[in-house]
Structure 1
Amino acid sequence: MNARVAAAELLMTVMDRGRALEDALAVVHSFNALEGRDRAFARALATAGLRRLGGVNAVLSRFLDRPLPETAPHARALLHIGATQLLVLGTPPHAAVGETVEAANSLRETRGFAKLMNAVLRKVAANGPQLLQQLPPGADLPPWLYTRWRATYGDAAPHIAQALLQEPPLDISVKSDAEEWAEKLGGVLTPTGSIRLTSPPPIESLPGFDDGAWWVQDAAAALPARLLGDVAGKRVLDLCAAPGGKTLQLAAAGAHVTAVDKSEQRLSRLHENLARTKLSATVIAADALDFRAEPFDAILLDAPCTSTGTLRRHPDVAWLRRPTDIRTLAELQNKLIAAAAPLLKPDAPLVYAVCSLEPEEGPGVVAEALRNGWRRQPLTDEIPSEFITADGDMRTHPAHWPNIGGLDGFYAARLVRA
């Protein structure tokens, strides 16, 4: 019961207070009071509720005469959590209904809605699964976002939306001996050399964690750093570096890395991983727009973005973003590329990357760069051909690799000063 209350409060913190789920995990007292399996269950339940938010709400609307009032956020969240158990997690109806109603009766804010929850959830248990299956592709996403994807990706958009409904596997980058570590970890090698694990135990318990042999990094996120080519012995600038997976990649490849990010809190994780992996980099807390240094041999700019390519792992992002965020962030990305120009040696490459599926943050930003003194250096065989666009840039999306668990959405382009 307490886990269900905690999950509801996590959901409420995201949807009604606009906090990211990762932030909510740190501030919701009912969640932090849990331990072990209850804590894991609450997090999984909240994540599932966000991943299927649109669909669960659509089913609930069929059994409510009118939506629960905005003044009752606890009740709306707890009802959603109860329905998520029935529709997504497959919890037996007697447990999902009974324990949700019991949780409602235990809270002053929801006690008056307990009878209504009982009635609605019983109807959801009886008829909801069929209704959920009948919903069209994209029903679990904000309509504005899925409409954009239909315009950009056409027939691939339903497959992208479907891929987002699955719990993603865990991807790992290793310092060396990927095949050997895949066997030790019980994983498989992806086509690009990352190690992929399904249903892994806690990360800290895996072989090689304490020894710093590897770090967690989505297979798509591991690709942009490779577009710089052989960086051994070169001075490489990693702009907007935190949480640091690409810094570790570059350092492991023999580069002399300077990692810059304006968030000292996020950089603390990079410091921890550098210490654990016994890799070295110069880490600087600074705004990339203001950073100055002697020119570098290469720059990797993984720019702040809407992060719509990461919805497999962060389903809350879909509901926290607004259409206006895209233009605002594209303007920042343009400024970051301009600020990077004096930090590059002549003819040195800059790889611009974003974990966004929005064209304004990818090709749109590169088009602006091409109008302002940059030229594209097209990709050839550095990555699988299915990820190379007609313009010679990189584009991955969640519907890639459907047989092995999908992929985050990333865009990257390699630029040099004209």
Structure 2
Amino acid sequence: MAKINRRKALIALATGLVSLNSRFLWAESGFDLGLKGQELLAQGKYDQAIEILQAGVKLEPDNEWLWGLLGRAYFQKKELRKSLDSFRQVLRLNPEDTYSRMMVDIISQKPLPPKIEPIKPLTPLEKKALEEEKQILDRLQVENTLGYRIQRVVLDPGHGGFDSGAVGLKGLQEKEVNLDLVKRTSQILAQMDKDLKVFFTRTEDYFVPLSARTTTANQYSADLFVSFHVNANENRKPRGMETYFCSERASSKEAARVAEFENSVLKLEKNELIQKGYVNIEEILFLFERKRYWEAGGEVASLIQNNLKNRLPLKNRGVHSANFYVLRRAKMPSILLEMGFISNPEEEKLLAQSDFRHKLALSIASSIVSLKKSRI
């Protein structure tokens, strides 16, 4: 058992932090409490972890590590408001903390739990109205079964943080173009279709692993996943736009090259360790489902590419497929846009222009909205 720090124990008692029989008296510092809280988190004992970590941040209110652990504990308990406050506190102490910034983004886009109000019993008139509403909705659902309903879209700005993506001759970075286009597209979508819910995999310049991007889309139960990218080639001449969907094998050598470049960031990510003999039932089931998602992704890619080619002054390079890691685990139709070549001097110049970006975002947003009217 660690030796009690008498001075800190007396301070804690004086401030009402602990009582004489408290189990926190053994701790010499917030670090000790953090280690204990981390251990409880790993064991899934979130209530106990929160209690320990709350004591830790009271003892050391400027300890960003403790606030981060507390944010994780609240997140696991689905206490999103408290989790958000904890991660924001981390960012106040350390604005460079990319994990907390990502968590703030994720939580901010989740619907926070509403304030609980007493439930009043329904009147006979209200019950009848609800029954009629259900009948209408059931009928509409039957009428719409031939189409794929798009109500929730996740926009994914490719690359970010230390992963700049492709870089043009003038220094324009792909990650910056992607993020700006996503923000513009989202704003236009909000104006064009107020019923469409739009989410992001990142809203600022930080790194997000490829696996986390589609995981985010799956968590949001998205109907469509769109990954924004800008193409590049060692040869400066290639130009134009193209749209990709996921497939086991690449549709061409060029498609394989693009997928290899976009997947290259995997080398910088930590490989997941899988225990020997472990069988992931959900993964096996997904192997049967993904063909349907990939086929739908192909239809979406064709519709969007056809729409874009009529709206933009870029060469139409068509629709292709390849094994993109960022798309393969999405449980919804997913596509990857390559919006011009940043390696081409003329197109790099275009991509740097605000007017062109607006036109590009407007075309993408219009294409997404048009999908709602199509039968996918």
TM-score (norm 2): 0.22
TM-score (norm 1): 0.20
Tell which has more relative contact order, 1 or 2 (C-alpha 8 A, sep 6+).
2
Q: Whose Rg is larger?
A: 2
